[in-house]
Structure 1
């Protein structure tokens, strides 16, 4: 039976941006990357993927793993994400950022792209195992964000009304029929995105799968 524990990967974190290191704003040849975790997760969820990006030559200053309060409305998180992106762009000198998300991180980042001006500041957007059209797993948790993740919620109806992939952003999603948390499995699929069905990967497995990591790094390159 699906349960809320399947979302849990770390203790709930306070809302704050955690750039891996600070650096002066300089001319850049590639976009900085911001990683947005899912419900009840934390920035540490991204340790393996961040290490893979660094192995590809990214510097600490180009990679930001962000912590936020996952119990709050995804609309509130979207506003906070906007400030994080602005800070990263100012700090790095880049004109656009890439956003890589897991699970619920796909929802607040999509709200930012669609309703908070993010489509003008983001080049590539990635959703790994995101409940982009809701998941029944959210029926057993009761945070504001959980209510928004439930199939048929007002939040999702608004988010998915009309163009699901607005602006010039390059949208990509990855999903699996072995995901025990996202129900229905293909909820992650976003109209207008490059949607990839993977092999048998669990919900948390998307954070550490080597094939997914390589795909994501190629997608945002």
Structure 2
């Protein structure tokens, strides 16, 4: 009788252990070394995650799954250094916990480039980011931001010589073991001058004559981004 009770207890424990909080398919794949690095897409000023529809579809068509691609939405009127970078850091931790990954890849458009750069440089992102990409980021400011700087903190952050711009330009513009890539257009009507996108230490890719928002949907830019992410 004692042996039967012991055997029953062992069987019960085995069932409980086998059914307790099963890992998602994405976590199991990464544990086996077969998963891709999760990608977080970060939109720009006065936008929302919906702008990533084209690139998201391309990522899914090229082998990523819904468990691998994330898009962060945020209030673009807030301060890069005081508010947004901290909130983004929390979001990255959520993605890492959900996927079981050790690092993430970041693809940012426009103002999102400043938020993610601050996180990488000053928020511990050099330990959690594998690849940082900027599409039309005002990485050294844009003169057009003066037009909305009176009422928008985000616009003030984008003005040349602002506190955010000065701090991001100090020392190494591309710190850590993170891989950095930017895409710039010589027809960008938002980032002025065009060269503001370039970062020392990054691979700075010319995208040709594209409007600022067309960087989000251009087939060549998408192909290059996906190739580098999987490279």
Q: Give TM-score scaled by structure 2 length.
A: 0.84
* Residue 67 in structure 1 maps to residue 73 in structure 2: yes
Larger radius of gyration: 2
SS in 2 for 1:34: strand
* Residue of structure 2 in register with 1:5 after alignment: none
Query: 1:110, 1:219 → 2: CA distance?
Result: 18
SS in 1 for 2:195: helix
Q: 1:126 aligns with which of 123, 127, 133?
A: 133
* Residue of structure 2 in register with 1:153 after alignment: 162
Question: Could you give the per-residue CA deviations for residues 43-92 of structure 1, whole angstroms, max 9, x where no partner exists?
Answer: 00001100000000110011101100000001211111111111111111
**Where in structure 2 are there 5+ consecutive unaligned residues?**
1-23
Deviation of 1:197 (Å): 1.1
* Residue 79 in structure 1 maps to residue 81 in structure 2: no
- Count of aligned pairs: 200
Q: Provide closer, same or farther for how the CA distance between residues 77 and 184 of structure 1 changes in structure 2, counting only shifts above 3 A.
A: same
CA contact (8 A) 1:129 1:174 kept: yes
**Where in structure 1 are there 5+ consecutive unaligned residues?**
1-21
Q: 2:205 aligns with which of 171, 196, 211?
A: 196
* Residue of structure 1 in register with 2:27 after alignment: 25
* Residue 178 in structure 1 maps to residue 201 in structure 2: no
Q: Give TM-score scaled by structure 1 length.
A: 0.88
Highest relative contact order (Cα 8 Å, sep 6+), 1 or 2? 1
* Residue of structure 1 in register with 2:10 after alignment: none
Which protein is richer in helix relative to its size?
Answer: 2
